[in-house]
Amino acid sequence: MSRKKSLVDKNFLLAIATLVGTAIGAGIFSLPYIASRSGFSIVMLMIFVLGIFMMLSNLMYGEITLRTEKKCRLVGYAEKYFGKKGRRFAAFAAFLSFYSGSLIYIILGGTFLNALLGEVFGGNEFLYSTALFAFVSLSIYFNLSLFSIIESWMVLFLLFVMSGIIFKSVPHIDLNNFITVDFHQWFLPFGAVLFSLSATSAIPELEHIIKKRQKRIKDAIAWGTVSYIMIYIVFISVILGVTGNQSTEDVFTGLSLFIGDGVVTFGLIFGFLAVLTSYLVTGISLKETFWYDYGLSEKNSWILTCAIPYLFFLLGVRNFIEVISFAGTLTGGISGILIILIFYKAKGHGKPAYQIKVPAIVSALMILIYLIGIVYQIVYKKW
């Protein structure tokens, strides 16, 4: 009995929660709407295939961190195993991820705030997005990381909100909403699903959380990845089952038409807090990257961090679905390819607490699909 208890100790559960909390962010809110456009079956197929890929990528990245004595992030691992060219390639993916993520938070945060406050105070999504940008920019300037503490409670808050939504929504589910398929929109879910499934940035933290029992990192990665994939499946199924072709990009506006405003208000609050904390954590991390890793002044680091995504917003790049599809396809694809290449290059280094065997044909297939997605996004799809 004591052995069973020791297998699921506090740190093990915290590691799983960290991975789940990192994965669940802005991406989850795009999936029901995308499923309503492309079809439930297409999205489920994407989640199944890309979910397997992400499980392998997470396990590969975990092994990389355990094999490498110097603790760093993907940019550092790319430099160690592939030199300066690897660093530049990884840095491009990292900065693209940071900036596109910040732009997504500006867009979606404004949408949530407008839904919460618009009827009371007036205004529009542009004004609320600008207000969010201003608040987070000041917080980043003063290194106000207080709100990032909320992130550790996000998983519990999410489960609470989802339970309420499911309870209220189940009687309204229409099975006909799962039947519609539009094969012309087959590629639409690819980037958003890839963006939503990505949680590799949390993998190095698991090594710190499970310090004394690093063999359990593999289990924590596996259980954590399965957990957030299942949360996505339940979330998409319930929301799409209720709203069907009336699904909205922010999820909750469309849902309020069917189950009322009570639970939906909690959902909007959760959505906004998730966006706020993710935006703040991303911004502080990017500012410190410019400041510490590239030797820029703190002020210039702050300006580069905050100004660029808002500039794109001012230039009219405000379509949540298009941005998340572009960002997910490019950053997810490039990072996925890098992790695979580093994984094989790192073999023979160190003595990791666990090792996985991935057939070369599987890795090649993953790289091929990532490359196809990147090329298709650039050539055939709009920004």
Please report, rounded to a whole number, the percentage of residues in the chain having pLDDT higher than 90. 49
Q: What is the mean pLDDT of residues 228-238?
A: 93
Tokens 């006909």 sit on residue: 176
d(CA 326, CA 45): 20
At 276, list the tokens: 């706020």
Convert the pLDDT of each residue in 108-137 to its tens digit: 999 999 999 988 898 899 999 999 999 999
- 154: confidence class by pLDDT, cuts 50, 70, 90: low
Task: Give the Cβ contact number of residue 345 at 10 Å.
Answer: 16
pLDDT at 211 exceeding the cut of 80: no
Mean pLDDT, residues 353-366 taken together: 93
Paired strand residues for 181: 39
Which two structure tokens, joined as six digits, stand for 191?
A: 């980037």
Average pLDDT over residues 13-42: 89
- Return mean pLDDT, the chain: 87
User: Where does the pLDDT of residue 146 fall: very low under 50, low under 70, confident under 90, or very high at 90 and above?
Assistant: low
Residue 1 predicted with pLDDT over 50: no
Q: Using pLDDT thresholds of 50, 70 and 90, give the confidence band for residue 316.
A: very high
**What's at 26, amino acid-wise?**
A
pLDDT of the residue at 167: 84
**Can you give the pLDDT at residue 151?**
59
359: left (phi over 0), alpha (psi -120 to 50) or beta: beta
Give phi and psi for 341, each to the nearest 5.
-65, -45
pLDDT at 352 over 90: no
CB-based contact 155:21 (threshold 8 Å): yes
Domains, the chain, in order of start with CATH, read 2-380 (1.20.1740.10)
CA angle 370, 204, 334 (to 5 degrees): 15
- Find, among 67, 366, 59, the residue nearest to 203 by Cα: 59
φ, ψ (nearest 5 deg) of residue 155 = -65, -45
Distance CA 25, CA 228 (A): 11
Q: With contact defined as beta carbons under 8 Å apart, do 64 and 356 qualify?
A: no
Q: Give yes or no for residue 218 having a pLDDT over 80.
A: yes
- Among 192-201, 212-221, 290-299, top mean pLDDT goes to 192-201
| Mean pLDDT value of segment 141-148 | 67
- Residue range 348-368: average pLDDT? 91
What is the model's pLDDT at position 236?
94
Q: Which amino acid is at 81?
A: Y
Question: pLDDT tens across 161-195, in order?
Answer: 778 888 888 888 999 999 989 988 889 899 999 99
Q: Which residue has the higher pLDDT, 157 or 175?
A: 175
State the Cα–Cα distance between residues 124 and 207, nearest whole angstrom.
44
Structure letter (DSSP) for residue 150: G
Give 1: exposed, middle or buried? Use CB within 10 Å, 0-12, 13-18, 19+: exposed
